[in-house]
Amino acid sequence: MSEELRPLPAFEYVAPRSLAEAIVLMKQHGGAAQLLSGGTDLLPRMRKRKCAPSVIVDLNGIPGLSFIEMRGNDLHIGAGTRLTELHESRIVKEKAGALAAALRVMASPGIRNRATIGGNLCNGSKCADTPPALLVLDASVTLRGSDGERIVPLSEFFTQREKPVPGCGKTVIRADEIMTEVIIPCRQGSSTFLKLGRRKGSSISIASVAAFAAITNGKFEDVRVAVGAVGSAPVRSRKVEAALRGMPANEENIERASALIKEEIEPISDVRGSAAYRKEMASVLIRRVLTRIATGER
């Protein structure tokens, strides 16, 4: 019943011209206000009455939230940067392989032209595609609120819950905080992303996997693996990572480590796939991303 689409509920609309103004508005309205970035996820949720904010604070008129730039060894991406710009960015392709690979299989042009990276993260969807990629790239996010600014590692940004609690945040972001940027430290190594969905355009992931690895003298020196759509939140796989660190980057080790994911995740069964299928697929996808990195295949 909650899935039924109805016209948008009534709300007050405000379009602040600065971040400071937006923060004041969010503080003033507490949890009753909702930020609007791309709107591609928010509007359907409002039509399904999954949320009914009394105030919409539109971030689209605020300058300075959309950029892609290198600062020293770090890649900084404005939270309001649209997926199309990231998809077409040469810097993202060169410096953040897993993110570029995720963008290649995300949504359709009409959605990518509106959806933003900040929105994709702040929605806290367990099946969003940028989180696994950004997790293996060791990204952090900058949150600005009335008490100032804080930088949170993405690995601590999503809240892990056994069961979704209505009205509770799926991320650690506070009601008066706004995500301003994503910071990706660029390190030696290579990363990629794979997802399993029913089709490419607008397809929601059944399972998604990203991996980063630095291989020195044939051994995994630094390795990070993350999974999406197979738990309550996108998450790093510490077991798979531990099984690979320091080990020769060969087929046997990759195969053995990939299987460990099945002990680590508790996926749900739904219309897109059973829990058992998701576990199996997560393991297969991990094996494939690691093999791609180990063999230098893109």
Instruction: Note the residues at the interface with other proteins (CB under 8 A).
Output: 5, 7-13, 15, 36, 38-40, 43-44, 47, 56, 58, 60, 84, 107-111, 113-114, 200-202
Return the number of the residue (9 or 153) whose C-beta is nearest other proteins: 9
Whether the Cβ atoms of residue 177 and residue 164 lie closer than 8 Å to each other: no
Handedness of CA 150, 155, 161, 165 (dihedral sign): positive
Q: Which is nearer to other proteins, 50 or 238 (CB)?
A: 50
Q: Tokens 């399972």 — which residue?
A: 207
Cβ proximity to other proteins: between 15 and 172 the closer is: 15
Minimal distance, residue 46 CB to other proteins, in Å: 9
Distance in Å, CB of 230 to other proteins, minimum? 23
Shortest Cβ distance from residue 64 to other proteins (Å)? Answer: 18
Number of H helices, E strands in the chain: 12, 12
> 164 vs 201, which CB is nearer to other proteins?
201
Query: CB-wise, 41 or 255, nearer to other proteins?
Result: 41
Could you give the CA distance from residue 126 to residue 131 in angstroms, rounded to a whole number? 9
d(CA 32, CA 186): 38
CA distance 134 to 193: 10
Distance (Å, rounded) from C-alpha 269 to C-alpha 274?
4
In the complex, least distance from residue 113 CB atom to other proteins, rounded to whole angstroms: 5
Nearer to other proteins, 71 or 199 (CB): 199
Cβ(47)–Cβ(53) below 8 Å: no
CB 288 within 8 A of CB 294: no
Q: Which helix (H) or strand (E) holds 276?
A: helix 275-294
Nearest approach in angstroms of CB 58 to other proteins is: 7
153 strand-pairing partners? 140
Q: Which residue has the tokens 């080990």?
A: 247
Minimum separation from the CB atom of position 169 to other proteins (A)? 23
